[in-house]
Chains A and B, each alone.
Chain A
Amino acid sequence: MVKQYRRVVTGAHYGVKDWLVQRVTAVLMAVYLLLLTGILFVVAPQDYAAWKGIFSHQWMRIASFVFFICVFWHAWIGMRNILMDYVHSTAIRLTVQMLVIISLVFYLVWSAEILWS
């Protein structure tokens, strides 16, 4: 009798993970923006001190930083998908993908610097 092997479909699995990350980050960003809109409606900041005041709370800085991490992660997956779809030359695609990664890492540091200075 021939033993039946169940064929395991292998792969890097980052497809499903990226799909999920794209959606989770999207929801987190939407929640943050709702929160921010609410705060801006309630506080209605007019001058520099009021704006600075909103972002001086530690929880607001952390929430904003989480928002930025979501933006950058979301942007990476989106840019990668688009580049994989339209740029067929491996050399150009990898070069642009590297530029995207480098710029996102730079933005991450920059956003932390803005929020905590």
Chain B
Amino acid sequence: MEAKLHNKRPKHLNLFKIKQPLPAVVSILHRISGVLLFFPGIPLLLCSLQMLLQSQQSFEALQDCLRNPMIKLILLLPLWFFLHHLCSGIRHLLLDLHVGITLTQARAGSKLVLMAGIMLTVVAGLMLW
């Protein structure tokens, strides 16, 4: 009893002080990227699709927009959000099928997902340029 009263363990979890394990990082990135894909992702996607298909003028406006290197650079961010969301989503489906649920496999899987998201973004970025 005495020991319990005097222990100095933190009473609540401070997210900025505890080191998150990699699967937790991948998981929270799945959520954050999901929210960002909802907004501003969806309206931006619909806007670009409309510009792409509406008329010759809007198509050229979109082309001009995408030629801008600054915009290309910024576009890498939503691209990464999307690709990370896709990769960690595939991981979720595999976990549902009981594939890779042991601790070591889960850690390796989340490392793989994180790397795949970044690698695919680099590849897509290179194709964009």
Contact = CB atoms under 8 A, between A and B. Distances in A.
A81 B31 CA distance: 10
Interface in B42-74: 42-43, 46, 49-50, 52-56, 59-60
B96 A23 contact: yes
A17 B116 CA distance: 30
Contacts of B78: none
B116 to A, nearest CB: 14
A110 B42 CA distance: 11
Interface string A54-71: 010000000000000001
A87 interface: no
B34 interface: yes
Interface of B (DSSP majority class): helix
Contact size range, A: 20 to 34
Interface of B: 31, 34-35, 37-39, 42-43, 46, 49-50, 52-56, 59-60, 86, 89-90, 92-93, 96
Contacts of B49: 111, 114
Interface string A80-117: 00100000000000000000100100010011001101
Nearest to A45: B52
Interface of A: 23, 26-27, 30, 47-48, 51-52, 55, 71-72, 75, 78-79, 82, 100, 103, 107, 110-111, 114-115, 117
Given A30-B86, A75-B42, A107-B43, A51 B93 contact: no
A115 B54 CA distance: 9
A51 B43 contact: no
A52 B50 CA distance: 11
A75 B39 CA distance: 10
B52 A110 contact: no
Contacts of B93: 23, 26-27
Contact of B46 (A26, A114, A117): A114
B63 to A, nearest CB: 9
Given A23-B93, A103-B39, 12 more contacts: A27-B93, A30-B90, A48-B59, A52-B53, A55-B53, A82-B34, A100-B38, A107-B43, A110-B46, A110-B50, A114-B53, A115-B53
